[in-house]
């Protein structure tokens, strides 16, 4: 067999991880097909960003989740180092507030043993406060899981796709896969909004829409419904900022609310868990009730919560909840060539690198494709050098190297013109569309306390110059979200034009 054409549906964290993993192999020709103008714009950009230890997954109920979560936690350390992904491993404290909760929490220590999660144990109130002074004084103890991490999930997806493209994979954005085409029991490609794309193997990593994609190929074994999670983010200077990941003891109904300090240094609290009907797969609106709930739950976890006026952002994401409860990562003989990487609810982010490894294994073992390692496969990728994170001597050097590093566009997050320009180059290199959101996610521009009220217009002007387009053609996130409707006299010209004709 010669080179196999592999189409990955969806450029979320799972699709990007798979692309990166499959880009290792000489005999796979990988294309990632994404509906949005850029990668990671579904659940990937709007979740808690936790690399779970794996002690909350019951292997009897969902064995794949349990196995891939633990393996994923280990892989993230490797991948983050290789791909220069913002990540930290501060450990996690599951706080309990009553003897009844302590009993329920005990179960997670046992699950940790069964799943092979190291060093998970119960700590008493005293040790809890040593581990985390910002924890609520009402907590009587916690389950301590030191291997928990916090990652910047959208930057992780970006890093993975950059590395994949660097190794020969391709990305097609603004291309919606309508269905998988199957002929004579074999996958032959995907029908998209931009026409038919031939493929020998189709990997369904379509997140919230993975059930529809799978069903179109004849595998109608699961449904996915959206579960909304709302979050609040506080100003970087707001206190307290817990060192550890804090959360409540999960109940059968909810996994509980987290309080984390993000990789960017903001206190973030969330999520809610609101099941939506299957037809609301794009409803990422926030609600007053959701925001209030999250703030209330957060105030249970922390000794105190910052004042409401220090909230700089509220947002919501949709987690893909499968009817199977467990992940659906499997290959099929009929139709041959379809691989599902679906149902990737929590801990989908944690599991992503492990899912990618499993997909490669399925290709080899289930589809019988002998995978040939690429010579000269590039294992490493560097992130954009950040003014905010650089000590002064480093800044002096950066500015000498590239004068644009001295021009700060975003005052809160200290993002320079050099970083913006580099982000644009990288977006173009992977074949995505340049948007204000795409630049924001790569540079963290406009993510601070002024939320872009100073820097957005300056960025639009800079992008217009770099791209050679009108500033009002710059979009927030693709067609229909233009930053402005025209030049300042556009409405008058319209009026006068109307009158003349």
Residue ranges binding other proteins (CB under 8 A)? 237, 282, 284-288, 290-291, 308-309, 311-315, 387, 392-393, 395-397, 399-400, 403-408, 411-412, 414, 416-417, 449-454, 456-458, 460-461, 471-472, 475-496
CB of 308 to other proteins, least distance (A): 8
CB of 189 to other proteins, least distance (A): 29
Euclidean distance between CA atoms 477 and 466, whole angstroms: 18
Q: Given CA atoms 463, 467, 470, 472 in this order, what sign does their dihedral have? A: negative
Angle between helices 63-83 and 348-365 (to 10 degrees): 100
Cis preceding linkage at 271, omega within 30: yes
Kindly tell me which of 81 and 394 has the beta carbon lying closer to other proteins: 394
Quick one: three-class SS letters along 121-147? EEEEHHHHHHHCCCECCCCCEEEEECC
Tokens linked to 205: 């990593």
CB of 294 to other proteins, least distance (A): 12
Kindly tell me which of 27 and 299 has the beta carbon lying closer to other proteins: 299
CB of 173 to other proteins, least distance (A): 16
What does the chain come to in residues?
A: 501
Residue appearing with tokens 């936790």: 50
- Give Cβ neighbours of residue 124 (< 8 Å, ≥ 6 apart): 140, 141
- Give Cβ neighbours of residue 38 (< 8 Å, ≥ 6 apart): 173, 427, 432, 433, 435, 437, 438, 441, 477
DSSP code, position 355: H
Spatial CA neighbour of 384 closest among 447, 432, 445, 431: 445
DSSP code, position 341: E
CB of 134 to other proteins, least distance (A): 19
Query: What kind and span of H or E run contains 322?
Result: strand 311-322
Kindly tell me which of 179 and 308 has the beta carbon lying closer to other proteins: 308
Kindly tell me which of 372 and 490 has the beta carbon lying closer to other proteins: 490
- Which conformational region is residue 116 in: left (phi greater than 0), alpha (psi within -120 to 50 degrees), or beta? left
Tokens linked to 367: 């589809």
CB of 407 to other proteins, least distance (A): 4
Q: Write the CA distances from 180 to 37, 236, 469, integer angstroms.
A: 21, 45, 36
* Strand bridging mode 92-96 / 177-183: unpaired
Kindly tell me which of 372 and 496 has the beta carbon lying closer to other proteins: 496
The active-site residue, picked from 52, 55, 62, 247, is: 52
CB of 273 to other proteins, least distance (A): 17
Angle between helices 63-83 and 99-115 (to 10 degrees): 70
CB of 217 to other proteins, least distance (A): 28
Per the annotation, the verdict on 55 as an active-site residue is no
Q: Assign 90 to helix, strand or coil.
A: coil
Kindly tell me which of 256 and 471 has the beta carbon lying closer to other proteins: 471
Q: Catalytic residues, which ones?
A: 52
């Amino acid at each position: 067999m010669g080179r196999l054409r592999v189409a990955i549906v969806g450029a979320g964290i799972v699709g990007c991880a798979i692309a990166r993993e499959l880009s290792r192999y000489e005999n796979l020709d990988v294309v990632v097909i994404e509906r949005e103008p850029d990668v990671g714009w579904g659940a990937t950009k709007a979740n808690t960003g936790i690399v779970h230890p794996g002690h909350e997954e019951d292997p009897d109920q969902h064995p794949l989740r349990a196995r891939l979560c633990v393996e994923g936690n280990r892989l993230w350390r490797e991948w983050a180092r290789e791909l220069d992904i913002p990540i930290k491993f501060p450990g996690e404290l599951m706080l309990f507030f009553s003897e009844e909760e302590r009993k329920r929490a005990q179960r997670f220590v046992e699950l940790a043993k069964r799943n092979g999660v190291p060093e998970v144990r119960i700590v008493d109130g005293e040790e809890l406060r040593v581990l985390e002074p910002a924890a609520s004084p009402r907590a009587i103890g916690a389950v301590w899981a030191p291997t928990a991490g916090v990652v910047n999930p959208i930057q992780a997806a970006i890093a993975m796709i950059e590395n994949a493209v660097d190794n020969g994979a391709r990305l097609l954005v603004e291309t919606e896969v309508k269905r998988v085409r199957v002929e004579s029991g074999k996958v032959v490609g995907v029908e998209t909004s931009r026409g038919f794309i031939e493929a020998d193997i189709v990997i369904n990593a379509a997140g919230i829409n993975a059930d529809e994609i799978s069903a179109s190929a004849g595998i109608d074994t699961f449904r996915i419904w959206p579960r909304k999670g709302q979050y609040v983010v506080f100003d970087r200077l707001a206190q307290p900022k817990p060192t550890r990941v804090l959360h409540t003891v999960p109940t059968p109904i909810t996994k509980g609310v987290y309080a984390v300090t993000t990789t960017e240094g903001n206190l973030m609290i969330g999520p809610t868990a609101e099941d939506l009907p299957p037809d609301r797969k794009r409803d990422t609106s926030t609600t007053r009730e959701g925001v209030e709930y999250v703030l209330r739950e957060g105030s249970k976890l922390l000794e105190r919560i910052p004042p409401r006026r220090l909230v700089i952002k509220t947002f919501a994401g949709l987690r893909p909840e499968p009817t199977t409860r467990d992940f659906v990562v499997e290959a099929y003989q009929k139709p041959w060539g379809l691989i599902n990487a679906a149902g990737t609810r929590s801990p989908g982010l944690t599991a992503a690198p492990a899912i990618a490894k499993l997909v490669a294994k399925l290709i080899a073992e289930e589809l019988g494709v002998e995978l040939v390692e690429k010579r000269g496969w590039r294992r490493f990728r560097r992130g954009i050098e950040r003014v905010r994170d650089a000590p002064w001597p480093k800044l002096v050097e950066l500015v000498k190297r590239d004068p644009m590093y001295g021009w700060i566009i975003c005052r809160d997050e200290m993002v320079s013109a050099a970083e913006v320009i580099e982000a644009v180059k990288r977006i173009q290199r992977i074949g995505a569309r340049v948007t204000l959101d795409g630049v924001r996610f790569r540079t963290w521009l406009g993510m601070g306390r002024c939320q872009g009220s100073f820097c957005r217009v300056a960025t639009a002007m800079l992008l217009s110059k770099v791209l050679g387009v009108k500033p009002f053609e710059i979009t927030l996130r693709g067609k229909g979200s233009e930053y402005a409707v025209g030049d300042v006299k556009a409405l008058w010209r319209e009026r006068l034009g109307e009158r003349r004709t």
